[in-house]
Amino acid sequence: MSILSEKAGHDLFVYGSLQDPQVVYVVLNRVPDHVSAVLSGFHRFRIKNRLYPTILPDGTGEVTGKVLKGITDEERKLLDEFEDVEYDRKAVEVVLTDTSEKLQVETYVWANKDDPDLYGEWDFEEWKRDERETFITATKKFVEERKLPEAKTRIDTFKTFTKQDTSAEDGKPLDS
């Protein structure tokens, strides 16, 4: 691959479900090259009644994740649609785990910094064990439905896969 083609596209830091190659494949129909990275100054939260996490700046924390390399303009539009109105795409600086190189990338940050549904620390390994299959099923449903004239948002599609009881504290999938 030439240097030019390696530089083409956008680099995106992912820290939640999009770290999983199968999820990325369902959304983008490919798995871009990726490298491990750390984002400093942020905290990764669980979200009540959700199968995915979010991040917000906290000044001191570190969030591990991956940088997806070479995201096309069309893929970025699709990811914006997938992340929906809950997230804002922001420019951030990450440090690559293998080389300590600093890289300017974009990532999705929770739009509502005062959301009372954010809590604790989200764990990727726990998510893979407990929620991955439900998340992949919900993502496939979203991708299928987005092609329809009456397509639902990702938020609305995913609501059918999680408990919506406001008294539930864990936000676990229906089959938990």
Which CATH number fits the domain that encloses residue 75? 3.10.490.10
86 is catalytic: no
Which domain range does residue 10 map to?
Answer: 3-159
36 occurs within a structural domain: yes
Q: Measure the CA–CA gap between 119 and 103, rounded to whole angstroms.
A: 29
Q: What is the pLDDT of residues 2-42, one digit of tens each?
A: 333 345 799 999 999 999 999 999 999 999 999 999 999 99
Global pTM reads: 0.84
11 occurs within a structural domain: yes
174 occurs within a structural domain: no
* pLDDT score, position 132: 96
**CB within 8 Å of 57: residues ≥ 6 apart:** 41, 42, 109
In which region does residue 12 sit, left (phi positive, over 0), alpha (psi from -120 to 50) or beta (all else)?
beta
pLDDT at 165 over 60: no
122 occurs within a structural domain: yes
**Across-strand partners of 25?**
none
* pLDDT score, position 164: 45
150 occurs within a structural domain: yes
65 occurs within a structural domain: yes
Q: Tally the domains of the chain.
A: 1
* pLDDT score, position 98: 95
* pLDDT score, position 163: 56
Q: What is the pLDDT of residues 109-133, one digit of tens each?
A: 999 999 999 999 999 999 999 999 9
Q: What is the pLDDT of residues 48-91, one digit of tens each?
A: 999 999 999 999 999 999 999 999 999 999 999 999 899 999 99
Given 83, 126, 144, 169, the catalytic residue: 83
29 occurs within a structural domain: yes
Q: Over the chain, what is the mean pLDDT? A: 87
56 occurs within a structural domain: yes
* pLDDT score, position 82: 92
